[in-house]
Each structure stands twice: as C-alpha cells, then as structure tokens.
Chains A and B, each alone.
Chain A
C-alpha cells in the first residue's frame, strides 16, 4: 500500500476528529506512523488502523473505509482538477478510471498496485453501470465511497448495490451503480 493512502487517512482523521485521535489510532494499532507518500507499506497497517477506528467508533470496518473513500475524493478533486474538469457527470468520470486516472497514479507513485475495473458496457447509458472489482485487498467499500464522493462532486445522487461481494465470500465484487441527477 502506497504511503500516500496513509497520509490521506491521517489528514482526514486529523481534520474531522483531531490530531490526538490519529495518535490514539496509531497507538491502538501498534504502529509508529512515519509514512511518506513515496514509500510502500504493509497492507496490514491500513487494516489495523481501520480496525482500531472501527472499535473506537463502534462502527463496522466497511463503513469506516467507505467514509474514507467519500472524504478522500474531494481532496483528489482539489489536487488534480484536470481529471475532473472534462466531465459533467460522475458516470463518465468513473469510466475513465482504468484508462486515464490509474495510469496517472502509477506514474506519480511507481509500483502502485491499483485495481483494474471491469465495466459492463452492455447496459444502456442511462441505466445502472455494472462495475466488476477483484482485489486481494477486498476494498470494495473504498471504491463505493470514492464513487459516492464523485457523485457529490458532480451534484448527483448515487445508489450502489453489490449483487456479489468478496467480503461475503463471492469470487469477485460487482458494483451496480445508479446515477441520479440531483434536480430530478
């Protein structure tokens, strides 16, 4: 896991819950917390932090991860507006993940192990978008959070169903995403 993910989490936790909370999470997870965006760290570190937060807030880990994704997205939009500007809807933005956004991530963070999504193009343009996700990290909730954040960015309401999910023992996750314009 690239250090930048830990930096983002620290930034959001410190912003919403105070710096002391981040220290407390590190202590509970037994981590020293010196993360640099350029480095790579154990995936387990992230899960330890999520687990500690889940316990402290008495919230399921998935919800913690989804919160992380939803709140991380505006930070991305602030740092990399060029990827958001060409789009007027979350749907077209999400469709650029494989071909534009993740390649840029690899460029900035050599060795970044970003997931490859599997978009089902058979659906009609105004129907739900089916997005397959398969990763050892099983962070489908992070994807959900990010997509919800993207909806918020474009002023849309997002509803996501997961007919299959690795967290429920399925082979892969399928996210069925419905985009609804806010004014509708």
Chain B
C-alpha cells in the first residue's frame, strides 16, 4: 500500500473539518431550541409563582395555574382536583380552564361528578405515586373512567401532576391536549416545581383562609355568613353586568322554627338548623352559594340564571328538602316548612343590598300568605315594604308628638245591660292623613320594636284614664279598663315592671286594669308568658283571653295560663242564631269556661238576635255596636251619665 498523496491527505482533512462543522451546527441548533424551551418553562414557572402568590384564595391560585399551563402548552382544557382528607380521594375543585367557553361540557360534568380513589383514573394514578403521569394517547389507555367522553369531545393526550405540601399530595392538576402528544421531560420537571410552588401557596392561603373563615362563616352551620354572601353577591352582580346573565337571590325562612326552640330547647333548635343547613346546601346547584344570615334565615345566591323559572324550580326543590321530618338525636321528630322569597336581578341592577331586600320582602309576602310557599318579588311587594317603613316612621313620630288617642268601648252584662268595664282601643289622628286604622298600623308596629313603645304608651294612658274615672267616682262602671297586649309585649320580660310602674304612677288600684291577650301571643313564646302572666296576676291585674276560638283553642292553655275571662271571637258571634253550628261552638266554650270558673264575654254583638242567643247560651257579658261604639273618654262618660239619669228617672 503506497503512502497517501498530499491531495488525498488534504481531502481527508477537509472532509473531517466539514463533518465537525455540521456536527457543531446541529449541536448549536439543539442547544438553542432547548434553551428556548427552558426559557419558556421558566417563564411559565415564574408566571404561576407570581399569580399564585398574589392569589387570595386557593381557587384563584388554581385558576391562575390552569390558565398559564394550558396557554403555555396551547392545550384546550385543564382541571384541578383537591384531596379530600377524610376519604383520601380526589374530588373536583370545579376550577377549569377551557380554551373555548362552553366546550367539553360532558367531560367537565363527568369529571366533577367523579370521585377518584387512589390509583383510579389519571388523577388517581398521580395520587397513588405522588409523581406526574403523562398519557401520550388517552384512547390507547385502559382504566380511565372518563375515557369515552374524553375521546368523543376531542381529548388526545393528557398530563397530570401533584400539588405537594411537603410530602403530602394535596391536589392534582390535569391538562389535556387535543391530539396525542409525546412525553416532554422538561415539562415534567417544571410541573414538579409548579406542584410544590402551589402546594406552598395552599399552605399559606390555607392558614389565611382559616383565619378569615371564622370572620366569613357561620359557626353553627359552617355556611358562609352575611358578610361573605354580600361580597359574593356583589361580585356576581359585577360579573352579570358583563355577561348579561340573571342573578337570583332566594331568601329562606323556616316557618315555626321558634316552636322547636321553645318546646324542645336551643340544643334541639341547633340540631334542626344544622340539619336544615346541610339539606339546603345539598339542594343548591353547583356554583350557587348558600349563606346563613342568622336565626333560621338562609339566603341562596344563584349566578348565571337563564330565566326566572330556574330560581322557582330551585325554590320548590329546597322546600321539598325541608319537608322531610327532622329526626333529632333525642328521638323527637319535627315537621317544618319553609317560606322562600325570590328576587332576580338583570344585568343592570347592581346593588346587592336592594336585591337582598327585595328577596326579603317576597319572603315576608310568602309568610303573610300563610308560609310554606315561595313568592317571586314584584314591585307591589316593594311598595308594601316601603309603605310599612313609612308607616313605621310616621308611627314613631306620632308617639313622640302625641297623635295617638285611646277610645273606649263598654262591655255590658247580657242580662241587665249594665256597663261593667271598657276596652281601650288605640286611634291615630295623623295630621296629614287623618284618622288611620289600627288594622293598618298595629301589624306594622308588631313587626318592629315600635309595638313595645306603643304598648307602653297605651298602658300608661289607660291607667291615667282609669285613675281619673276612679277619682271622679261617678263612672265606676267604666272600670276596669282592658288593654290589648301584643305577643311581643308578652314575650318581653320587662312587662310586669312596665305595668307596675304605670299603675303606681297614677296611683291606680291594679284591679281597675285588665290585660287582653290572644292565643297566638301565648304560642309565640311558651316559657316567658306563663311566668309573666303569673307576675301580672300577683300584681292584681285581671287577665283575659281575647279572640278565643280562632287559634289553637287548646285546652292546655287554659290549664297552663292563669286567666279570668274568655272573650269569644266575633266571627262566631256574627253567625249566631238558634240551632247554628256557631251556637253549638259558643255553647261549648261557655260550658267549658264556666266549668273552669271563668267569665265568658261575647264580642261583636250587632243585633238583638245575637244578644238574645248569646244570653241563651249563657254568655255573661257582651261587647258590640248594639250596645256602644268605641268613643272618646268624654263621649262615653256623657253616655254613661245619660244612662244613669234615664235609669234613675
């Protein structure tokens, strides 16, 4: 073999140099593109870190991470799941990224409905190992519960990684590509960092949320409280203003919940509230917020309503959920109903307080109509509420400026038609609107604490008039003066003291005062009235049971509450005639009353026929237009005087 020529040697060196250059260029290309990828991965990591650190809630942090990861990868859908520590399973956080709004509906629904046990499905595999999982082609994999829907809605490959707090996996983020996609080791590494970054944020935000949770949640039910609800409502209305969606508020009040507290104690009441909270919470739609506003009041916030009907359907569902008997630990069972007021705001109504007020007004309307129903707010309800507020204000003013008067209606014995006392009735001479009906303003006063001030005034004024009559001496038959008590007065523990002070101030013999209470006032709060009534009786004040026969008319009341007189409701008297059912009822009441040693008064007598029948049935006394209309003290004094003169002549 001959030695290579110079040309051959040079050609060989040239060839060597060329190969080296090409290789160098390839290396440079690879390095540059790897650097670019690395750069973008770092940007992604930094972006997630910054967003996560700025996030106020875990949900915000998840949302930010999903958006950045999906836009980084240009993948169409991403989803975050959280570990439920009690069952060690993964459940949807309901936080998603989708490139196109409204896409992947079926896939989202099944993902949110699925609970992933360790090892099951893509998130479950991550939970089992604590490592990221890459699926190049979902269609080729087995053991994915969501595979069929995923394939149908256009999911190709997938990638999931754990959110880690130390060694614990606290959640999983899964992202899905539109097409099968090869594993990307660089991304796996970055995902590891994102996972621990988010995990740390979770820990930090978690501690803050723990703190603010107490400020924003109801301690008994764990539901959001009023503060949080109003905040969410404000956000919802702001969002709605952009999206032109409807926002609904359901104001829920449990009917007769007070009975549970009164009859079975507060512990039973709390049990019912907790159970009711859980039922209502389970009944709302995903994304809705339910808050406990205090007492037995709850509010549901519904975002993204397409029409009012959806809110009505929800109200019906919630009412049904309340209908199931409440079974308490003590073995007792309670049947409750709910009254629900619904207000729906369009995109332009952006005031959370007024929306809540409207729902509250509708709830009041539902209550007024008997409860156990729902009402959709309308303007008339707002007017009613405004009327009520106006009346309340005016009544407050009336009390201060002395626009109220008492009128008196005599009560007479049925056999001799002798006056044997009067009932004091409040009248309001409004300087602008003239005489205003008690039927209008008493219910308004009863819904607020005004009834206490009003009641106190009535007691004081009646005592003053009674003392005047007693001092005058000529019209002792107008005594005692009966004063009507509202339920709230009776429930007020200060009542005996109020009465004692009023009597003492004018030096009245307590026997010249009698108090009329209704059956409903007795049921409202069962414990306080019994004690209060006993104290009043000890004072020497007479007690009458008013409107008897219209409420529960439970015999047990008569046994538990010390009263002297039964006043039979005017509705029976109105249809009194010999042989009528009303006569049978009145006869029975009289028999029972007398058996208990009570006097019986028939109210609302307007005709001689009614008077005769009442007398025949054994009523002791009567009251009504037939004998006298309510009138000022001066007028009835004059009438009494005339009667005395004519009797004497």
Contacts and interface: CB of A to CB of B under 8 A. Distances in A.
B112 to A, nearest CB: 45
A110 B34 CA distance: 12
Nearest to A6: B20
A32 interface: yes
Nearest to B34: A110
A38 B24 CA distance: 6
A116 interface: no
B451 to A, nearest CB: 85
Interface of B: 9, 12-13, 16-17, 19-21, 23-24, 27-28, 31
Nearest to B30: A38
A145 to B, nearest CB: 25
A32 B23 CA distance: 13
A99 interface: no
A57 interface: no
A35 interface: yes
A37 B21 CA distance: 10
Contact of A36 (B9, B12, B20, B31): B20
A34 B13 contact: no
A153 B16 CA distance: 33
Contacts, number: 30
18 contacts: A19-B9, A19-B13, A20-B9, A23-B12, A32-B16, A33-B16, A34-B16, A34-B19, A34-B23, A35-B20, A36-B20, A36-B21, A36-B23, A36-B27, A38-B24, A38-B27, A39-B27, A110-B31
Interface in A134-154: none
A35 B16 CA distance: 8
Interface of A: 19-20, 23, 32-39, 110
Given A36-B27, A38-B24, A110-B31, 11 more contacts: A19-B9, A19-B13, A23-B9, A32-B16, A34-B16, A34-B19, A34-B20, A34-B23, A36-B21, A38-B28, A39-B23
B24 A36 contact: yes
A46 B13 CA distance: 19
A78 B264 CA distance: 97
Contacts of A35: 20
A33 B20 CA distance: 9
B290 to A, nearest CB: 57
Contacts of B12: 23
A162 B21 CA distance: 41
A11 to B, nearest CB: 13
B20 A23 contact: no
Contacts of B27: 36, 38-39
Contacts of B31: 38, 110
Nearest to A22: B13
A35 B28 CA distance: 14
Contacts of B19: 32, 34
B13 A37 contact: no
A37 B27 CA distance: 10
A36 B13 CA distance: 14
A35 B20 CA distance: 5
A36 B27 CA distance: 9
A56 B622 CA distance: 143
B28 A23 contact: no
Nearest to A23: B9
Nearest to A19: B13
A23 B21 contact: no
A109 to B, nearest CB: 11
A39 B26 CA distance: 10
Given A32-B16, A110-B31, A37 B24 contact: yes
Contact of B13 (A23, A38, A39): A23
Nearest to A35: B20
